[in-house]
Amino acid sequence: MDNTETLVKMANNIGSYFQSEPDPKVAVDGITNHLASFWEKRMRIAIVQLNLAGGRGLSDLVKKAVDQLAERQPDLLKPHH
């Protein structure tokens, strides 16, 4: 399993936890807040870049949360060397 697959699996596991939330906005906020609070910046950059490239493997709920994360933290969109 490569890094991307690991990130997708981790993000989808977080999404699964919030899936039972009846209000999708609350679920997306919960995922976004978790990623912002507990993921290292390099992991957040990687998941944002993956999502920008189509988000292959990410659940729809997680894609929405990663979009929201990128809106809240626009520095994650800048290329890093």
Per-residue pLDDT band for 21 (boundaries 50, 70, 90) equals very high
Residue 8: burial class (beta carbons within 10 Å; 0-12, 13-18, 19+):
buried
Give the model confidence (pLDDT) of 53-81 as tens digits.
Answer: 999 999 999 999 999 999 999 999 986 65
Residue with tokens 């989808």: 12
pTM assigned to the model: 0.92
Determine the pLDDT at residue 1. 61
Determine the pLDDT at residue 2. 75
Return left, alpha or beta for 80; rule: phi > 0 is left, psi -120 to 50 is alpha, else beta: beta
Give the model confidence (pLDDT) of 24-60 as tens digits.
Answer: 999 999 999 999 999 999 999 999 999 999 999 999 9
